A and B are shown apart, each in its own frame.
Chain A
Amino acid sequence: MPAGRIEWRRRPTALLREQEREIHMRCQTAVRSVALVGAIGLALAACGGGGVAAPVLDDSPPEATAYAGPVGQGEGALSVLAWPGYAEDGSTDRAVDWVTPFEQATGCQVTVKTFPTSAEAVQLFSTGEYDVISASGDASLRLVYGDRVQPVNTDLVPNYADILPDLKNKPWNTVGGKSYGIPHGRGANLLLYNLATHPTPPTSWSDMWETGSPAAGKISPYDDAIYIADAAVYLMAKRPELGITNPYALDQTQFDAAIALLQQQKAMAGEYWGDVVKQGQGLASGSLMEAQGWQLTANLANTGATSVGTTKPVEGATGWSDTWMIKKNTPHINCAYQWLNHIVSPEANAQVAEYFGEAPANPKSCALTKNPDHCAQYHAEDTGFWDNVYYWTTPIEQCIDGRRNVECIGYDDWVKAWSKLRSS
């Protein structure tokens, strides 16, 4: 199903956009200063006119060049924005620490901030406070087109050479032939189930979607707009006539079918999940029977007795493939490159993959995991396993499956539809 290289239609709109940007900036300043004295109305009137967002996606990404190098002495500080568990400095657990060795080796003092969702990651990174970020596919392109990150010169990251080719040059980390980051690791959103109520392991998502499910009332879907893609993955198998080939490229008909399926599921849902601990407890106690979730959740729930099973159903699954990216114009460019190289080094990559519960990007790390079977259990090098895992990608109006005769539903409409679904 490869999404294919996205061909960005180039338009001679650069000048126009520049002007628009300038007007917006002026208004922005005006609004800020005027707001302080409370006369918002005036500012609004001055900035009036159509406020409809331009469809950025037809535009080429903002001009940017990668750091030429060489990577020299660090600047002494680095601010990291990461998924929880990706940049551990021993403050969560003394034994879990791959930040301190980096600090000692490079002299870059690291501060870490974590985020719970991709949406929040983009919002936080937009403040400009952070030098590097671990971005999932549903955040990376938004950062590239939002002009928040810079291309990465992979020649300056020695460990990049070892990374699985399966993860390189993908639409979520490479735009216009330029690499925007270093792949870090991947995982699949699995079907989690309560073992006591499932004597035989389930093989299909059907009990989470179809009416009359034995799990009705005890189903736990993910509480985020990106979950619409999970419905699309199921529809790919169940209703081939819809012609879905990529769950992130849905035209109106396909999107409506996915929403209808989610409505059907909502009547049977017990709790939408956002917290791995809460969900794990529910599955272990039996108040939840089936859920979409992470291997990490099952690992956490199974520390005592084994009560939660996981499987990747026959229909396939959504998943994530994360990328470390660098802020545009960061003052800590040398520290940033050193961090990128460190975090995908066999030692650090092994620790992260094992602690978080995902497949590492650097196969050399497989020899260093505490559990010698970690890479096998997480299918790190088993490329066949990932064939029907659809990594989180930002849905855009230009269909990313290559179709040009229809328009697809963009990310903001996914979020709106999700809000409506959850509120209905």
Chain B
Amino acid sequence: MSVDTTLTPGRRVQALLHRRPALRLTGLLTPALVWLGLFYLVPLALLLATAFFDTNSFTGRITYGFSAKNVVDVLTTPAYLLTAARTVGAAAGVTALCVLLALPLATYMALVARERSRPILLALVLTPLWASYLVKVYAWRILLAPEGGLLGGASPGYGWFAVVLTLTYLWLPYMVLPVYAGISSMRGSYLEAAADLGARPWQAFRSVVMPMLAPAIAAGSVFTFSLSIGDYITVQLVGGTKQMLGNLVYANFSTDLPFAAAVALLPLLVMAAYLITIRRTGALSRL
């Protein structure tokens, strides 16, 4: 096969890629796959493997032999499962509260507010994301202090309620954004059509708006749920004596890495189950 020597090297590469679709695909996918593999799948595999190692309790050295002890321990000890359940409960609470707050807020922003003020409202919703996480949580710690706090006697004190409240504050923008986008993309004519056909506002909301918003809410809930389930700092600051799964990992990783890895499998399982459920709603394709 003769090669046209008048072609520049760039042209030649172009031609080659045109002739070989497989090469084209490889070139496009390799960077992403290497990234995914090296920084996501390998660490995940190492985490999984570590959970099945053991530690010499005294010296803290890992012994590299297969042992299901830690995993069995985590999956059969009521205290750990209870912590997992509480963590899921808190994350679900945060998600529910975020939906409750985001729906009217996003509806107002997308449908009621004047066109010109929409970008401003959107910016306002996003501003808290610019402040440091720790500053915000410490502010809530001071706000909710049971004695001498700003709320005084009205404070609920430190505990689960405070944790859910603080996390809701932290993650609300992640719910507002997709819901706002969802409502914005909904055509006003749908609502008009519903009204023309005699639907009351509530019925229109239930049978027209909600089915269309469900994927947006599901997408937002992936953020609020996963961010909450992995959080362990907020609960240290406003949770009183309460603990979440992250605290259990944190408390053990320096003395017993395999055990911490075994505990870390719990949120992994929960998130996997959650994502599979969410996938059914089609939300992931809309992200």
The answer to whether A and B assemble together is: yes
Residues of chain A touching chain B, judged by Cβ–Cβ distance below 8 Å, are 24, 27-28, 31, 35-36, 38, 40, 43-45, 47-54, 56-57, 117, 119-120, 122-123, 126, 141-142, 145-148, 266, 269-272, 274, 278, 285-287, 394, 396, 410-413, 415-416, 418-424
Q: Does B45 contact A (CB under 8 A)?
A: yes
Could you say which residues of chain B place their CB within 8 Å of the CB of A271? Answer: 158, 240-241
Q: Can you list 14 A-B contacts (CB < 8 A)?
A: A35-B49, A44-B49, A47-B66, A119-B254, A146-B56, A270-B240, A278-B237, A285-B147, A286-B147, A415-B256, A419-B251, A422-B248, A423-B79, A424-B78
Q: Does B128 contact A (CB under 8 A)?
A: no
Q: Does B80 contact A (CB under 8 A)?
A: yes
The listed residue (B59, B63, B77, B255) touching A119 by CB distance below 8 A is B255
Could you say which residues of chain A place their CB within 8 Å of the CB of B95? Answer: none
Closest chain B CB from A91 CB (angstroms): 21
* Contact A122:B254 (CB < 8 A) given known A38-B45, A410-B58: yes
A301 CA / B41 CA spacing, docked (Å): 47
Could you say which residues of chain B place their CB within 8 Å of the CB of A274? Answer: 236
* Contact A44:B255 (CB < 8 A) given known A53-B54, A410-B57: no
Could you say which residues of chain A place their CB within 8 Å of the CB of B140? Answer: none
Could you say which residues of chain A place their CB within 8 Å of the CB of B59? Answer: 56, 142, 145-148
A24 CA / B146 CA spacing, docked (Å): 52
Contact B83 A423 (CB under 8 A): yes
Category for how many chain B residues contact A:
35 or more
* Contact A396:B58 (CB < 8 A) given known A119-B255, A422-B251: yes
Closest chain A CB from B225 CB (angstroms): 21
The 3 A-B pairs with the shortest beta carbon distances in the complex, nearest first, are A412-B57, A51-B65, A146-B59
Closest chain B CB from A120 CB (angstroms): 5
Could you say which residues of chain B place their CB within 8 Å of the CB of A413? Answer: 57
Contact A56 B56 (CB under 8 A): yes
Near A by CB (< 8 A), chain B positions 48-66 give 48-49, 52-61, 63-66
Could you say which residues of chain A place their CB within 8 Å of the CB of B148? Answer: 285-287
Contact A287 B146 (CB under 8 A): yes
Contacts beyond the supplied A24-B65, A412-B255: 8 A-B pairs with Cβ under 8 Å: A57-B58, A146-B58, A272-B241, A285-B148, A411-B255, A415-B256, A423-B79, A424-B79
Contact B252 A52 (CB under 8 A): no
Contact B243 A40 (CB under 8 A): no
Could you say which residues of chain A place their CB within 8 Å of the CB of B48? Answer: 40
A57 CA / B59 CA spacing, docked (Å): 10
Q: Does B46 contact A (CB under 8 A)?
A: yes
Closest chain B CB from A1 CB (angstroms): 23
